[in-house]
A and B are shown apart, each in its own frame.
Chain A
């Protein structure tokens, strides 16, 4: 194979699908062949059956809806405060000097470790779930947005000054639009992480959601349901990522060739 040589679109799809096929074949061989006990790993058919069962009898679609709302709720909260703060830090160095050390420290605090505290403060309701995602996303967004804004090309800023832009105009007419595609990309990335936080939040002290269902299924040793839950998360993540990418392409045609 030649390094970095692009692969054709047809071959790309075929190769991508091939791995899924291989993966399912290995899974099916291990389970149907009796190499792995059903107690530890359900076979693909059982998973599908359990999935249908979950949807039809247990109203799993509602759990999915609740989980999606928590992810987006917590993420939007973090973005609504984090993006403006990150922009201020990127644009104004004293603001950055004030917040940056604390936020750099906070970003390494694991969101999941806050769950017991957050339950203490906010109970086990929706507020606590949103807060877990907020804690997990906020500091990351702030720091990455600050870097993106701070990396704006200096010559663009200078050009804007020579065209009469005010200090405020530099922020609104240069720094923000210049960093916007990267901010959108950061949001997409952090939304992906938010999906892992929400499941952790739902594993502990929740009475609904995909994570809660997984926890219940574990008590019943129903590995089919657990795997179905995990697959659902993967699919939603993939779809939301795709939609986000498509939206970014529409919003920022100029950043593409």
Chain B
């Protein structure tokens, strides 16, 4: 059965239409990337699934249950660094109501945080902080992982490593992932499907399946199949980016 159903969701902020009638299904074990230009409402859509925003019309459902408020069944990693600064790395990962010391310890090894247990977030680099945030979300054992441009603030090299880390975790567990990004390479490299959104008001423009085999290696980014997908998505996004710019100028 479908894990997440987004059913006719629109969102209006004041006089601004952010989202218009989005219908989308995310199946169990899916890795769906939502790709769109800045300001297209893709983060808003994710926040509606998380229960952090209320849709103006329509609803989001998780396993048939309407989403009404945030909950531990939907883990989230934000673009901003949201570790609790007063807790150490280990205490942060233990924060979730369903996290346990055993899960925390094994996740710290998995995301490469061994030896940093007692560091405070301030003492960590951006990449390390996002590793911790990812481990914190996973330790709570959510049904679905929601990621809102989690690597957007990282430098290119760190970002590439983080993509490999997340993809490796997904290939091992196949935990359902909904990943928001404006980075085309990032979307193709990790996703099973890429949902392209239009400029504001955000609509679902097209869904492109990514039929690249798993496990994926970073060298895949230079294959012809990858390049063909990239060319296609670049074209789709470019049009929307132009529209977004024109709308902003008008």
Residues on A lying within 8 angstroms of B by beta carbon are 153, 155-156, 158-165, 169, 173-174, 177-178, 180, 252-257
Contacting A at CB under 8 A, from B62-96, are 69-72, 74-76, 78, 80, 82, 84-87, 95-96
Whether the Cβ atoms of B86 and A155 lie closer than 8 Å is no
Query: Within the complex, which residue of A156, A164, A180, A253 is in contact with B120, where a contact is CB–CB below 8 Å?
Result: A253
A-B contacts besides A162-B71, A174-B84, A254-B122, 8 pairs, CB < 8 Å? A155-B78, A162-B52, A163-B96, A163-B97, A164-B72, A164-B98, A177-B86, A255-B86
Question: Knowing A161-B69, A163-B95, A163-B140 touch, does A178 contact B86 (C-beta < 8 A)?
Answer: yes
Bound CA–CA A252/B133 (angstroms): 22
Bound CA–CA A153/B80 (angstroms): 11
Bound CA–CA A61/B136 (angstroms): 55
Residues on B lying within 8 angstroms of A by beta carbon are 50-52, 69-72, 74-76, 78, 80, 82, 84-87, 95-99, 120-122, 133, 136-137, 140, 146
Closest Cβ of chain B to A178, distance in Å, is: 7
Whether the Cβ atoms of B84 and A162 lie closer than 8 Å is no
Bound CA–CA A164/B97 (angstroms): 6
Whether the Cβ atoms of A161 and B52 lie closer than 8 Å is yes
Question: Knowing A156-B82, A156-B84, A255-B85 touch, does A162 contact B122 (C-beta < 8 A)?
Answer: no
Closest Cβ of chain B to A179, distance in Å, is: 10
Instruction: Name the CB-closest residue of A to B76.
Output: A162
**Residue with the highest number of chain B CB atoms closer than 10 Å, among A161, A173, A174, A257:** A161
**Which residues of chain B are within 8 angstroms of A164 by Cβ–Cβ distance?**
71-72, 96-98, 140
Bound CA–CA A253/B99 (angstroms): 25
Question: Knowing A163-B72, A163-B96, A163-B97 touch, does A155 contact B82 (C-beta < 8 A)?
Answer: yes
Closest Cβ of chain B to A70, distance in Å, is: 34
**Residue with the highest number of chain B CB atoms closer than 10 Å, among A155, A253, A257:** A155
Whether the Cβ atoms of B86 and A161 lie closer than 8 Å is no
Bound CA–CA A256/B96 (angstroms): 25
Bound CA–CA A161/B80 (angstroms): 16
Whether the Cβ atoms of B140 and A159 lie closer than 8 Å is no
**Which residues of chain A are within 8 angstroms of B95 by Cβ–Cβ distance?**
160, 163, 173
**Which residues of chain A are within 8 angstroms of B140 by Cβ–Cβ distance?**
163-164
Q: Is the interface of B mostly helix, strand, loop or mixed?
A: loop
Bound CA–CA A192/B75 (angstroms): 45
Whether the Cβ atoms of B78 and A165 lie closer than 8 Å is no
- 20 example contacts (A-B, Cβ-Cβ < 8 A) are as follows A153-B82, A156-B82, A158-B70, A158-B76, A158-B82, A159-B82, A160-B95, A161-B51, A161-B52, A161-B70, A162-B50, A162-B146, A163-B72, A163-B95, A163-B99, A169-B97, A174-B84, A177-B86, A254-B86, A254-B87
**Residue with the highest number of chain A CB atoms closer than 10 Å, among B82, B97, B136:** B82
**Which residues of chain A are within 8 angstroms of B133 by Cβ–Cβ distance?**
159
**Which residues of chain A are within 8 angstroms of B146 by Cβ–Cβ distance?**
162
Bound CA–CA A159/B98 (angstroms): 14
Instruction: Name the CB-closest residue of B to A165.
Output: B97
Instruction: Name the CB-closest residue of A to B52.
Output: A158
Closest Cβ of chain B to A251, distance in Å, is: 10
Closest Cβ of chain B to A160, distance in Å, is: 7
Bound CA–CA A178/B122 (angstroms): 14
Bound CA–CA A254/B87 (angstroms): 8
**Which residues of chain B are within 8 angstroms of A155 by Cβ–Cβ distance?**
78, 80, 82
**Which residues of chain A are within 8 angstroms of B120 by Cβ–Cβ distance?**
253-254
Question: Knowing A155-B80, A254-B122, A257-B122 touch, does A162 contact B70 (C-beta < 8 A)?
Answer: yes
**Which residues of chain B are within 8 angstroms of A162 by Cβ–Cβ distance?**
50-52, 70-72, 74-76, 137, 146
Whether the Cβ atoms of A158 and B98 lie closer than 8 Å is no
Bound CA–CA A252/B86 (angstroms): 8
**Which residues of chain A are within 8 angstroms of B137 by Cβ–Cβ distance?**
162-163
Bound CA–CA A163/B87 (angstroms): 15
Whether the Cβ atoms of B78 and A158 lie closer than 8 Å is yes
**Which residues of chain B are within 8 angstroms of A256 by Cβ–Cβ distance?**
122
**Which residues of chain A are within 8 angstroms of B96 by Cβ–Cβ distance?**
163-164
Closest Cβ of chain B to A107, distance in Å, is: 29
**Which residues of chain B are within 8 angstroms of A174 by Cβ–Cβ distance?**
84
**Which residues of chain B are within 8 angstroms of A254 by Cβ–Cβ distance?**
85-87, 120-122
Closest Cβ of chain B to A137, distance in Å, is: 26
Closest Cβ of chain A to B74, distance in Å, is: 6
